[in-house]
Structure 1
Amino acid sequence: MTEEPAIRRTLNEAAARQLANATKTRAQWSGITPRWLVSFLPWTPVEAGIYRLNRVKEANGEIAADVECSPRRDQDPDLPETFVDYDEAPREYSLNAVTTILDVQTRVSDLYSHPYDQIQEQLRLLIEKVKEKQEAELINNAEYGLLTNAAPSQKIATRTGAPTPDDLDELITKVWKEPAFFLAHPRAIAAFGRECTRRGVPPPTVTLFGTPFLTWRGLPLVPSDKLYVDENGKTNILLLRTGEKKQGVIGLFQPGVPGEVAPSLSVRFMGINRKAIASYLVSLYCSAAVLTHDALAVLTDVEVGKYHAYPDTYA
Structure 2
Amino acid sequence: MTTAVNPPSRSMSVSDKAARTLANTTKTVPQMASITPRWLVHLMSWVPVEAGIYRVNRVDHPESVRIECDNYDEAPLPDTFVDYAQEPREYRLKAVQTVLDLHTRIADLYSSPHNQTAQQLRLTIEAVKEHQEGELINSPDYGLLSSVAGSQRIPTLAGPPTPDDLDALITKVWKQPAFFLTHPEGVAAFGRECTRRGVPPATVSMFGSQFLTWRGLPIIPSDKVPLENGRTKFLLLRTGESRQGVVGLFQPGLSGEQGMGLSVRFMQIDRSAIASYLVSLYCSLAVLTEDALAVLDNVEVDKIHDYAPTYR
How many Å separate the matches in 2 of 1:236 and 1:120?
Answer: 37
Matched, 1:188 2:191: no
Equivalent position to 2:19, from 9, 16, 40: 16
Unpaired runs of 5+ in structure 1?
308-315
Deviations 1:287-315 (A, max 9, x none): 110000000000000111179xxxxxxxx
What is the 5 A alignment of 1:1-315?
6=9, 8-58=11-61, 62-72=62-72, 74-75=73-74, 77-230=75-228, 232-305=229-302
Letter in 2 for 1:251: G
- SS of the equivalent of 1:191 reads helix
TM-score (norm 2): 0.93
How many Å separate the matches in 1 of 2:7 and 2:170?
Answer: 87
How many Å separate the matches in 1 of 2:244 and 2:222?
Answer: 23
Q: How many angstroms does 1:210 deviate by?
A: 2.4
Q: Which runs of 4+ in 1 moved over 4 A?
A: 1-8
Contact 1:56 1:63 (8 Å CA) reproduced: no
- SS of the equivalent of 2:119 reads helix
Letter in 2 for 1:126: T
Letter in 1 for 2:51: A
| Percent identity of paired positions between Structure 1 and Structure 2 | 63
Aligned length: 301
Q: How many angstroms does 1:135 deviate by?
A: 0.5
- Over the aligned positions, Cα root-mean-square deviation in angstroms equals 1.7
**Range 154-163 or range 109-118, more displaced:** 154-163
How many Å separate the matches in 2 of 1:185 and 1:80?
Answer: 51
Contact 1:159 1:167 (8 Å CA) reproduced: no
How many Å separate the matches in 2 of 1:306 and 1:48?
Answer: 48
Q: How many angstroms does 1:171 deviate by?
A: 0.4
- SS of the equivalent of 1:268 reads strand
Contact 2:158 2:298 (8 Å CA) reproduced: no
How many Å separate the matches in 2 of 1:158 and 1:256?
Answer: 44
Deviations 1:260-296 (A, max 9, x none): 0112110000010000000000001101100000000
Contact 1:104 1:279 (8 Å CA) reproduced: yes
How many Å separate the matches in 2 of 1:9 and 1:247?
Answer: 78
Q: CA 1:304 to 1:173, structure 2 compared with 1: closer, same or farther past 3 Å?
A: same
How many Å separate the matches in 1 of 2:147 and 2:221?
Answer: 20
TM-score (norm 1): 0.92
Unpaired runs of 5+ in structure 2?
305-312
How many Å separate the matches in 2 of 1:192 and 1:228?
Answer: 16
Letter in 1 for 2:260: P
Deviations 1:26-58 (A, max 9, x none): 000111111000111110111110000001112
Contact 2:100 2:121 (8 Å CA) reproduced: yes
How many Å separate the matches in 2 of 1:306 and 1:94?
Answer: 41
Q: How many angstroms does 1:184 deviate by?
A: 1.0
How many Å separate the matches in 1 of 2:165 and 2:260?
Answer: 37
How many Å separate the matches in 1 of 2:209 and 2:8?
Answer: 64
Contact 2:236 2:295 (8 Å CA) reproduced: yes
**Range 132-141 or range 2-11, more displaced:** 2-11
Q: How many angstroms does 1:65 deviate by?
A: 2.4
